[in-house]
Amino acid sequence: MAEVTSIHPADLRKIENFMGAVHNDLQVLDSGVGTVNDNVKVVYDEVGKLAQDFYAFVSAQVRANRLGQAEVRLVKIRQELEKKYGHYDLVRRTTTGILQADDLGIVKKDTISSATEELMISTPGYWLAPCLVALAAWINDQPELADKALREGIKRNDEKTSLFFALVCRRADRKNASLKWTQRYLANQDEENLDRKTIIILDAFASGLLGADSEGVVSRQMDEWLDHLSAKPGFVEKQTVQWSEAINLKRKPLEDTSYTYLKKYSKTWPVLEDIMEGANLHAEILSYFTSIFEQEVSTDSLKEQLDDILDSLVTDFDDEELPLRKEEKFEQFVVDFEGDEDRARQNMAVEQTAFETHKDFTQLLTDAAMKPESSHASASTQKFAIALSKEWITNAYSDVTAQNRMKIPNEIEVNVDTFNDKTTDGQNEQELLGKFNSLVDQEKTAALDQLKLTQFDQFCLYGGGVIAAIGLGMLVAGSMFLGIIAIVAGIGLILNHFSKKKKIETSRQNIETQFEQKRTNGSQIIRALLAEVVDFRAEFDRKDAQSQQVMDFLDQITPEQYVRKLADSNRRVKVQ
């Protein structure tokens, strides 16, 4: 009879203790794995949020750096302008000083001559220096020196010299001489390639300063220029584009918007932002035009007004300064748009025409009306340019308004987490909430369906029991080592089954909580977003309707009536 090996109770207690320790370790491990999974999800969410925050931070930092760079560059550019062309300022300041000193008769004529001769020596090549020498010689009744200096001025810059003496002669009430200089200047002009200083003649004409004879010359010349230009193919289309660009230059970026949900939860927001800027343009343009026409007509004397125009001629930068002036303007745009270089570049592309040395007559009018800071046009010239260009402005403005309206989206996207749908006017709240809840239910069901025991985990319960029973049998049969291993393995499988089952139950509870939270938050966001859609549509319609006010304002401006207001003379300007 075979000998049966007895198993002492102490041996079983050791096994139980060992299995208990294994069970505890498995629980700790299982808990650790669950925590790791939860932490990984949190980490992914945080990384996504961090990426968005980082992108926003980088964009803001880039703009801030560019803003600081632009401010530094502005200082350097202005220092370079002062260094290279600062000596021109003395000549420029001396011009009206000489005229006013002669009016008052409190400066010796020899002093005037001496001062102008010194300037002639210290500013070689500058067109204005010999003009001042000629002016001083004229005051001192030195015709030979005046003629010689005058020829040098014409040699250096015929157009500016002619303009200068047309204004000086008008200031001295020598109308015939002023007319001759004006005719000389205009005779050298091509309506398709006008000197940018032609704005000076427009300024004097619009201000009613040239006198009846000169006005006849200027108005006839403008009629001829417009006749020639309008006869060219594509003229109307060119004016529409030209004025559209100038009008759009007045667009301003939206400041901190109240549409926070649309901005964050709708992919349509860039389009909405763009069309709202276009709707805001109506009020901007109306305010701009109104401010021009509400300016009072100058009550200064003829000499004071002419001195202002002379200042514009001599103090406005010369052609050699243009490259630096263009850089200065661009960097100023960067500062104005708080470091947004793309926006600065877009505006500079339109502003570029103001820095061109030559342009056609209609571009001159556009620049005078819409870019007075760069073109150095007075309020009178702006009024005149707008009145004369009314038909082109109206066409362009209608086109700008139509283009903005064409971009109005019929449907606005709603993008909340994984939910993507559309709304027209924000009135389909129940429909969208229903779709959103259905999506949440589907996603929750899909997520719960993933939480199932694998075939192996299901096998662990019964397989582990069988293996443990076999292990006990082996212990009874005398195979102590293999029996213990089988028992441990079997119990481990059983514990794995229950551990995974518990983990699945915990995960299911977490998923239920997460999706209910998503349902609550998402529903709130959708309601808020749809409310903003309603407000946005209403605000856009209200602001877009202001376009009619602009059209009504332009309609009441008639060039003939406006030109009659400029002076006592009954001058007329032909309207194309």
Give yes or no: residues 221 and 335 share one domain: yes
* 391/214 Cα distance (integer angstroms): 26
Give yes or no: residues 199 and 322 share one domain: yes
- Domain that residue 500 falls in: 411-544
Which phi-psi region, left, alpha or beta, contains residue 426 (left: φ > 0; alpha: ψ -120 to 50)?
Answer: left
Amino acid 9: pLDDT: 45
Amino acid 173: pLDDT: 84
* 77/75 Cα distance (integer angstroms): 6
Amino acid 23: pLDDT: 55
Amino acid 357: pLDDT: 61
Amino acid 265: pLDDT: 93
Amino acid 318: pLDDT: 59
468 is a domain residue? yes
Give yes or no: residues 504 and 376 share one domain: no
Give yes or no: residues 351 and 279 share one domain: yes
Amino acid 430: pLDDT: 93
* 553/388 Cα distance (integer angstroms): 14
Two structure tokens written together for 319: 């052609």
In sequence order, the 6+-apart residues with CB closer than 8 A to the CB of 54 are none
Amino acid 277: pLDDT: 94
* Range list of H helices, 105-127: 109-122
Give yes or no: residues 499 and 472 share one domain: yes
Bridge partners, 194 (sequence order)? 359
* 187/399 Cα distance (integer angstroms): 36
Give yes or no: residues 493 and 377 share one domain: no
> What torsion do the CA atoms of 347, 349, 355, 360 make, to the nearest 10 degrees?
-120
Domains contained in the chain, number: 2
DSSP annotation of 51 reads H
In sequence order, the 6+-apart residues with CB closer than 8 A to the CB of 532 are 259, 260, 261, 262, 426
Residue carrying structure tokens 């067109």: 127
Give yes or no: residues 424 and 392 share one domain: no
Give yes or no: residues 233 and 335 share one domain: yes
Distance of CA 396 to the CA centre of its chain: 21
372 is a domain residue? yes
84 is a domain residue? no
Give yes or no: residues 195 and 325 share one domain: yes
* 447/503 Cα distance (integer angstroms): 14
Mean pLDDT of the chain: 79
> What percentage of the chain's residues is helix, strand, coil (to nearest 5)?
80, 0, 20
Bridge partners, 510 (sequence order)? none
Smallest CA-to-CA distance from 469 within 457, 493, 486, 485 is with 486
393 is a domain residue? yes
Amino acid 541: pLDDT: 95
> What torsion do the CA atoms of 541, 544, 545, 549 make, to the nearest 10 degrees?
160
558 is a domain residue? no
**Span 420-433, pLDDT tens digits:** 999 999 999 999 99
Give yes or no: residues 388 and 415 share one domain: no
Smallest CA-to-CA distance from 403 within 236, 235, 245, 234 is with 245
Give the residue ranges of the chain where pLDDT is below 70.
1-49, 51-53, 82-89, 211-215, 297-302, 314-322, 349-357, 453, 457-458, 460-462, 464, 468, 496, 559-576
508 is a domain residue? yes
Which one of 365, 390, 407 terminates a domain? 407
Residue carrying structure tokens 């899909």: 446
**Span 514-559, pLDDT tens digits:** 888 989 999 999 999 999 999 999 999 999 999 999 999 998 887 6
Let me know: does 335 contact 350? Beta carbons within 8 Å. Answer: no
**Span 156-202, pLDDT tens digits:** 888 889 988 988 888 888 888 888 898 888 888 888 888 777 878 88
**Span 244-279, pLDDT tens digits:** 999 998 998 887 778 999 999 999 999 999 999 999
* 410/271 Cα distance (integer angstroms): 11
Bridge partners, 359 (sequence order)? 194
Q: What is the pTM of this model?
A: 0.66
Which one of 381, 407, 433 terminates a domain? 407
Give yes or no: residues 277 and 343 share one domain: yes
Q: C-alpha angle 366/369/372, rounded to 5°?
A: 110
112 is a domain residue? no
Give yes or no: residues 467 and 389 share one domain: no
Which one of 407, 442, 457 terminates a domain? 407
419-423 and 412-416 as β-strands: parallel, antiparallel, unpaired?
Answer: antiparallel
Amino acid 457: pLDDT: 65
278 is a domain residue? yes
